[in-house]
Amino acid sequence: MKFIHAADLHLDTPFEGIRDDANSPQSLWKKLQQAPYDSFTRIVNDAIEEKVDFVLLVGDLFDGKNQSVAAVSFFIDQLNRLDQADIPVLLSFGNHDFQKDDEVKFAFPKNVFVFPSEVTTHQLITKDGEKVKITGFSYDKQAITEDMVAEFPTNSDADYQIGMVHGAIKSGNDSNYAPFTINEMIDKGYDYWALGHIHKRQELNQNPLIEYPGDIQGRHKNEAGKKGYLMVTDADDKLHANFVSTSEVDFTKLKVKINGSMNITDVVNQVLKTLEQNQFTNLKLLDVILVNDDNKTSNEVTNGLLNDLLIESIQQELKNEYQELNGWVYEINLDEKEDIHFSDLDESFWNETQSSVFNHEMINNLAKKLFKNAFIRDNFSSDEALQNLLDQSKILLKTQTEGNEKNSEN
């Protein structure tokens, strides 16, 4: 038996965090908007070429409840390709593209089985005559707080029993997405659990396999790295899940070494040189980290970071070269190896107060209205984002205090 497990296609997704301004080439935006479609096309190509027994698509096929005509038309065209290859598709809707049962009116081909909102089991027979039972459900509202796995039947007489769940591990902080526990999945006696919702490749358990494939295309900086699907095969009476990358565009970090003697032009050239040396084979959206071992970054470069002159200069140079270099810089930060020490600012006061200012509760209170935008909320929810805010503040304070010292000397 061989099947594909994919989730979180998010067709029609907006690429957030990439500025749509004069510095961003229109060809870049066309590439980004097309990326999820190209990724799914590659998944379908692989399914047909590998002659898989079936395809599982576990929720959030579309980025929202209301889909564009173009996205739906594309998706149905790909399902038709699978139908022509005699490959069954079992799909569910998730919290992003939730559908009330009486509103589902997609003209899917005959090879497609859509799970309704109640837990349902669908049976199919593989080309080798193996009986496979697949149990799942779709979202009919944006949040599902019930433990849906509790309603799944235990393993029966099937050769393989598979569960499909678009959801997250039960926790005290977030139980809005079909919360489950790993132990209850194990207790069901299934051979494989196909998960969706978490946009990161994760294996929660090996026996049985409980797998998140991640999304098929990163949508912002918090979804970095290769994206794709899982090819699941049986060998030696055991299922094996192998990750296959299909993403056309990858968010990633790029470290660039600089020193204190460099000005903005030098740093721009160093970034371009590092990009060329990496020889990327597909387009990378880059969060550049300037690494300065000697901790003596020039004020020109530091100010260029703070007022966006540096990134604008880099993007201006990349406009005509990004396709050849397969890299576009959307963010740039400074990583100085030594901690910054303040002269005019009482350092003990800084050490005492920074933890009370730079914490998630304070950020949430200051940015309540901004956090209504899911991308902004997600972007600032990580400890890494908090550390970046702290680092940028220290750079700003360093620049200001050094400027005050020079003024006092004059």
Residue 41 identity: T
pLDDT in the model for residue 53:
97
Residue 77 has pLDDT above 70, yes or no: yes
Report, as an integer, the average pLDDT of 357-361: 66
Q: What pTM was estimated for this model as a whole?
A: 0.81
Residue 286 has pLDDT above 90, yes or no: yes
pLDDT band, very low/low/confident/very high, at 330 (cuts 50, 70, 90): very high
Q: Are 162 and 56 in contact (CB under 8 A)?
A: yes
Residue 403 has pLDDT above 60, yes or no: no
Q: The tokens 């990134």 sit on which residue?
A: 311
pLDDT band, very low/low/confident/very high, at 401 (cuts 50, 70, 90): low
User: Which domains does the chain carry?
Assistant: 2-245 (3.60.21.10), 249-338 (no CATH), 343-393+405-410 (no CATH)
Q: Which of 34-48, 62-76, 96-110 has the highest mean pLDDT?
A: 34-48
What angle, 0 to 180 degrees and rounded to 10, lies between the N-to-C axes of helices 299-306 and 309-318? 80
pLDDT in the model for residue 201:
96
Residue 134 has pLDDT above 90, yes or no: yes
pLDDT band, very low/low/confident/very high, at 371 (cuts 50, 70, 90): low
Report, as an integer, the average pLDDT of 236-243: 92
DSSP helix, strand, coil percent of the chain (3-state; round to 5): 35, 25, 40
